[in-house]
């Protein structure tokens, strides 16, 4: 007999004569305590994210590229990974060309194997979009895809994320239901709630464990 | 490279290890400070008691509901994962699980493995198994990395290196990695980051655990703060997840309350930095992610716990560690004293099913039954009740049917007879009176030594007259009995 058959057999045997418990999920318990007035959502998200060392900047669709340049220059960063195949990637590129920025824009346009060494050691920052945010926990939701692959938001030491204010949901449950996640998920979904951190030594909090040291969120208030 | 548990090397039994741990002031201080802070953080994360209790109740129902149809859910999970391109494997024992993992690595001719935190891989002692076969298996969670570097085992399921302070870590990095000594935690972490980053990049295979496996969508959910879990499951070309069969939940929405309970109970965080939901390997048009994803479902005694409706509740556990943080015994003796993979209250109730109660006969009684563990458990496992049950199983006659693996290790005929005598004495009034009469009259003959009791206490001596005698005399002298 296979391990599979043995395990399932034992479990079935132990359940003989019993009926499955009914589904007693009560959505109020995960929604009611986590509802906010629309005008409070950004503040809630912002205060929670700032509490874990995230920079949150409110801005608009027409001025965020400017802010990105400023943030990069302030940190003396020399390159930025972003997706030229995305609308926000093109907007950034246009702005950087028009203002003759020195920061080099890099694209993740080949399989990771082809440039792993460079990605891990030379890329200084990345910029990605998000699927939305969650006010209850101060969280960004990312669905990586071929334009903005999984490692893009993980490997570079600084991660800049664009978040549309209209896509901030009250809580995870609402977001899942509104977008019908149960119908099918992409290969990888990420909830990101700050820069990478650890408290493994003496419970002292240290940022920049294995992922980004810095997370910067640009909230597009008019989008 | 074989791992060691420092205190166990010296003493083979729980009692001896506990005595050594209690005498180690540094160790006790490291745990006291850490547990106090974890308790405060948890309390602050649940400011509203009603909200907390409602959520715990829901957590309990979801897990109990999932267990009530576990075989069907496992099949559904397998089917969904397979559709998504994930290969599912089943293992009854840790040997089987290890050989499955090794087989996958061998097929890819892999020699380097990075591992995200996984308690199931600790159960399997996977690092040793792979090392013996020439595969380097490196822990990448900072705490796990530290204990592995020092050839130790984790002393806490969430905070593996909690028994060490910064000075000890600094010395370790200096001795093993040649780094300059520093007690600055940030610098220590940066040393770990640098060293491990190269390993993530080079690894042939990444191994991780699973916090929740979602049957509805065929998804593996992992929570973490460091990003090492994301690295291990994304950067290498192969990802192998290992998990116990009890981790499956029916629906995606079920993880909303469970993740909230987990991160708030474990660390007092509203959510961890990363929640990583993996539903398949890299698709042809994608540019990163593993080409292969495997899931190994491990039994290792879980079906044994499952067979007993009361013990089955043990499998509700979501491994948050709150029970150990709140345990007065754990806080004083530390994680290594338990000598097993899972320490603290959860260890006491899960280990018997894995290793056998006869391997850990002292564990169920190393508890004051204060009830703190049961009160904080986010999925409402009645841990004290299960400990009492294990105490009973411990002293049952092993010749009769065993309900728990290795039960009856503490069975003693003498003890049985003593209790029989006690019962007889207390159910026969005439016998009881004559015993009392004799015990008071011949009190001088009471034994001066009463086992371990008299090591620290003076021996009990019966009173000159029993209370019963005194009361009777008093009433006689004061004009008869009350009406
Ligand atoms: S038994 Fe309960 S409190 Fe202990 S680790 Fe498991 S879920 Fe957490």
In a domain, A142, yes or no: yes
Q: Tell me if B379 CB under 6 Å of ligand 1.
A: yes
Cβ within 8 Å, pair A190-B276: yes
Asked if pLDDT for residue B10 goes beyond 70, the answer is no
Nearest to B275 among A18, A154, A191 (CB): A191
Q: Are B263 and B55 in contact (CB under 8 A)?
A: no
Identify the pLDDT of residue B11. Answer: 57
- CA dist B88 and B110 (Å) reads 20
Architecture of domain B7-304: 3-Layer(aba) Sandwich (3.40)
The total number of residues shown for chain B amounts to 483
Share of chain A above pLDDT 90, in %: 97
C-alpha distances (whole Å) from A126 to each of A79, A151, A216, B41, B476 are 8, 10, 10, 33, 95
Asked if pLDDT for residue A113 goes beyond 70, the answer is yes
Cβ within 8 Å, pair B58-A187: no
Atom 7 (ligand 1) nearest CA = B317
Residues of chain A with C-beta less than 8 angstroms from the C-beta of B221: none
Q: What is the mean pLDDT of residues B335-351?
A: 94
Cβ within 8 Å, pair A201-B188: yes
Asked if pLDDT for residue B264 goes beyond 70, the answer is yes
Q: What is the mean pLDDT of residues B350-357?
A: 94
Q: Point out the least confidently predicted range of A3-12, A73-82, B149-158.
A: B149-158
Residues of chain A with C-beta less than 8 angstroms from the C-beta of B216: 182
Phi-psi region of A171 (alpha: psi -120 to 50; beta: other; left: phi over 0): beta
Domain boundaries, chain B: 7-304, 413-477
> Number of CB pairs < 8 Å for A and B?
260
Identify the pLDDT of residue A203. Answer: 87
Mean of the per-residue pLDDT values of chain B: 93
User: How do residues A162-201 score in pLDDT, each as one tens digit?
Assistant: 999 999 999 999 999 999 999 999 999 999 999 999 999 9
Residues of chain B with C-beta less than 8 angstroms from the C-beta of A22: 65
Identify the residue among B94, B189, B192, B297 best suited for mutation to test binding to A, counting A beta carbons within 10 A and taking the highest: B189
Asked if pLDDT for residue A27 goes beyond 80, the answer is yes
CB contacts under 8 A, B 370-399 vs A, are none
Identify the pLDDT of residue B67. Answer: 98
Q: Tell me if B377 CB under 6 Å of ligand 1.
A: yes
Confidence of residue B70 (pLDDT cuts 50, 70, 90): very high
How many domains in chain A? 1
Q: What is the mean pLDDT of residues B453-467?
A: 88
Range of the domain at A151: 39-198+214-221
Identify the pLDDT of residue B415. Answer: 86
Residues of chain B with C-beta less than 8 angstroms from the C-beta of A136: 270
Query: Ligand 1 mean position to B259 CA, how many Å?
Result: 13
Q: Which atom of ligand 1 is nearest to the CA of B376?
A: 3
Cβ within 8 Å, pair A210-B267: no
Asked if pLDDT for residue B21 goes beyond 90, the answer is yes
User: How do residues B187-198 score in pLDDT, each as one tens digit?
Assistant: 999 999 999 999
Confidence of residue B8 (pLDDT cuts 50, 70, 90): very low
How many Å lie between the alpha carbon of A99 and the closest alpha carbon of chain B? 31
Nearest to B230 among A136, A138, A211 (CB): A211
Q: Which residues contact B402 (CB under 8 A, 6 or more apart)?
A: B393, B396, B408
Q: Which residues contact A120 (CB under 8 A, 6 or more apart)?
A: A155, B197, B198, B200, B201
In a domain, A70, yes or no: yes
Asked if pLDDT for residue B483 goes beyond 60, the answer is no
Asked if pLDDT for residue B406 goes beyond 70, the answer is yes
Tokens for B380, please give them: 């409402």
Nearest to B286 among A10, A146, A199 (CB): A146
Cβ within 8 Å, pair A190-B277: yes
Residue of B nearest to A204 (CA): B185
Residue B481 CB neighbours (<10 A): 8
Q: Tell me if B223 CB under 6 Å of ligand 1.
A: no
Identify the pLDDT of residue B12. Answer: 63
Q: Which atom of ligand 1 is nearest to the CA of B383?
A: 1
Q: Tell me if B319 CB under 6 Å of ligand 1.
A: yes
Identify the pLDDT of residue B455. Answer: 87
Share of chain B above pLDDT 70, in %: 96
In a domain, A29, yes or no: no
Asked if pLDDT for residue B148 goes beyond 50, the answer is yes
DSSP 8-state code for residue B181:
P
Mean of the per-residue pLDDT values of chain A: 97
How many Å lie between the alpha carbon of A19 and the closest alpha carbon of chain B? 7
In a domain, A203, yes or no: no
For residue A138, which of A26, A39, A43, A18 has the smallest C-alpha distance?
A: A43
- Asked if B64 reaches chain A (Cβ–Cβ under 8 Å), the answer is yes
Q: Are A215 and A46 in contact (CB under 8 A)?
A: no
Q: What is the mean pLDDT of residues B8-30?
A: 82
Cα-Cα end-to-end distance for chain A: 59
Residues of chain B with C-beta less than 8 angstroms from the C-beta of A182: 216-217, 251-253
B233 or A203: which leads in pLDDT? B233
Asked if pLDDT for residue B1 goes beyond 60, the answer is no
User: How do residues B104-141 score in pLDDT, each as one tens digit?
Assistant: 999 999 999 999 989 999 999 999 999 999 999 999 99
Q: Point out the least confidently predicted range of A87-101, B210-224, B438-452.
A: B438-452
Asked if pLDDT for residue B204 goes beyond 60, the answer is yes
Written as one string, the DSSP assignment of B389-430 is HHHHHHHS-TTSPPSSTTTTTT--HHHHHHHHHHHHHHH-HH
Q: What is the mean pLDDT of residues B440-445?
A: 89
Atom 3 (ligand 1) nearest CA = B377
How many Å lie between the alpha carbon of A222 and the closest alpha carbon of chain B? 27
Asked if pLDDT for residue B239 goes beyond 90, the answer is yes
Question: Rounded to a whole number, what is the largest CA-CA distance in chain B?
Answer: 102
Asked if pLDDT for residue B401 goes beyond 80, the answer is no
Radius of gyration of chain B, Cα coordinates, nearest whole angstrom:
27
Q: What φ, ψ does residue B327 adopt, rounded to 5°?
A: -90, 120
Identify the pLDDT of residue B398. Answer: 82
ipTM value, please give it.
Answer: 0.97
Q: Tell me if B349 CB under 6 Å of ligand 1.
A: no
Residue A61 CB neighbours (<10 A): 14
Query: Ligand 1 mean position to B319 CA, how many Å?
Result: 5
Cβ within 8 Å, pair B61-A188: no
- What's the half-sphere exposure (Cβ side, CA atoms, 13 Å) at B171? 6
Mutational pocket test of ligand 1: of B223, B345, B387, the residue with most ligand atoms within 8 Å of the beta carbon: B345
In a domain, A181, yes or no: yes
Residues of chain B with C-beta less than 8 angstroms from the C-beta of A143: none
Q: Tell me if B409 CB under 6 Å of ligand 1.
A: no
In a domain, A17, yes or no: no
Asked if pLDDT for residue B6 goes beyond 90, the answer is no
- What's the half-sphere exposure (Cβ side, CA atoms, 13 Å) at B439? 17
User: How do residues B150-179 score in pLDDT, each as one tens digit?
Assistant: 999 888 888 899 889 999 999 999 999 999
Return the CATH number at A124.
Answer: 3.40.50.10420
User: How do residues B279-331 score in pLDDT, each as one tens digit?
Assistant: 999 999 999 999 999 999 999 999 999 999 999 999 999 999 999 999 999 99
Asked if pLDDT for residue B3 goes beyond 50, the answer is no
Residues of chain B with C-beta less than 8 angstroms from the C-beta of A151: 234-235, 288
In a domain, A131, yes or no: yes
Q: What is the mean pLDDT of residues B41-52?
A: 97
């Amino acid at each position: 007999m296979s391990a599979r058959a043995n395990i399932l057999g034992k479990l079935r045997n132990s359940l003989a004569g019993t009926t499955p418990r009914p589904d007693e999920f009560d959505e109020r318990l995960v929604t009611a305590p986590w509802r906010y007035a629309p005008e409070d959502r950004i503040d809630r998200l912002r205060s929670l994210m700032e509490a874990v060392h995230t920079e949150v900047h409110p801005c608009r669709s027409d001025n965020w590229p400017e802010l990105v340049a400023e943030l990069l220059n302030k940190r003396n960063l020399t390159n930025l990974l972003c997706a030229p195949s995305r609308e926000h990637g093109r907007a950034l590129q246009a702005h950087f060309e028009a203002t003759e920025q020195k920061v080099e824009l890099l694209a993740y346009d080949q399989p990771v194997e082809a440039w792993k060494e460079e990605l891990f050691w030379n890329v200084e920052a990345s910029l990605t979009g998000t699927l939305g945010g969650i006010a209850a926990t101060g969280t960004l939701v990312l669905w990586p895809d071929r334009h903005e692959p999984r490692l893009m938001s993980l490997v570079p030491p600084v991660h800049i994320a664009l978040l549309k204010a209209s896509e901030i949901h009250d809580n995870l449950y609402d977001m899942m239901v509104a977008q019908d996640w149960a119908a099918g998920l992409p290969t990888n979904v990420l909830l990101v709630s700050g820069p990478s951190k650890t408290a493994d030594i003496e419970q002292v909090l240290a940022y920049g464990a294995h992922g980004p040291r810095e997370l910067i969120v640009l909230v597009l208030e008019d989008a | 490279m074989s791992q060691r548990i420092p205190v166990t090397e010296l003493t083979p039994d729980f009692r001896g290890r506990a005595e050594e741990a209690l005498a180690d002031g540094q160790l006790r201080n490291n745990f006291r400070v850490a547990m106090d802070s974890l308790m405060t953080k948890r309390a602050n994360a649940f400011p509203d008691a009603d909200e907390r209790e409602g959520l715990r109740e829901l957590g309990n129902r979801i897990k109990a509901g999932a267990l009530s149809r576990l075989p069907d859910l496992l099949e559904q999970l397998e089917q969904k994962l397979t559709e998504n391109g994930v290969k599912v494997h089943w293992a009854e024992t840790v040997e089987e699980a290890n050989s499955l993992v090794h087989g996958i690595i061998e097929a890819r001719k892999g020699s380097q493995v990075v591992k995200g935190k996984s308690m199931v891989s600790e159960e399997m002692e996977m690092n040793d198994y792979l090392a013996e076969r020439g595969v380097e298996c490196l822990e990448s969670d900072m705490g796990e990395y530290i204990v592995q570097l020092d050839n130790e085992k984790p002393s806490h399921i969430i905070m593996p290196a909690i028994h060490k302070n910064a000075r000890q870590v600094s010395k370790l990095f200096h001795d093993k990695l040649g780094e300059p000594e520093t007690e600055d935690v940030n610098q220590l972490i940066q040393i770990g980051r640098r060293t491990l980053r190269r390993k993530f990049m080079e690894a042939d295979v990444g191994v991780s655990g699973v916090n929740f496996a979602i049957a509805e969508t065929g998804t593996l959910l992992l929570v973490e703060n460091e990003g090492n879990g994301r690295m291990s499951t994304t950067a290498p070309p192969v990802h192998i997840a290992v998990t116990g069969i009890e981790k499956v939940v029916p629906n995606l929405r079920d993880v909303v309350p469970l993740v909230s309970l987990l991160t708030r109970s474990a660390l007092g965080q509203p959510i961890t930095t990363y929640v990583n939901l993996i539903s398949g390997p890299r698709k042809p048009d994608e540019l990163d992610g593993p080409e292969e994803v495997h899931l190994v479902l491990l039994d290792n005694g879980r079906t044994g716990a499952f067979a007993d409706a009361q013990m089955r509740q043990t499998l509700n556990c979501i491994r948050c560690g709150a029970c150990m943080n709140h345990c007065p015994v754990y806080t004083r003796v530390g994680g290594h004293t338990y000598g097993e993979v899972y320490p603290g209250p959860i260890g006491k109730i899960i280990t018997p099913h894995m290793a056998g109660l006869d391997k850990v006969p002292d564990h169920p009684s190393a508890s004051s039954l204060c009830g703190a563990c049961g009160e904080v458990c986010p999925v409402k496992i009645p841990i004290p009740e299960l400990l009492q049950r294990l105490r009973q199983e411990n002293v049952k006659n092993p010749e009769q049917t065993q309900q728990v693996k290795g039960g009856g290790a503490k069975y003693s005929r003498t003890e049985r007879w003593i209790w029989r005598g006690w019962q007889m004495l207390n159910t026969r009034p005439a016998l009881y009176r004559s015993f009392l009469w004799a015990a008071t009259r011949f009190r001088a003959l009471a034994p001066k030594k009463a086992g371990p009791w008299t090591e620290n206490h003076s021996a009990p001596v019966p009173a000159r007259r029993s209370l019963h005698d005194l009361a009777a005399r008093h009433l006689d002298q004061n004009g008869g009995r009350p009406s």
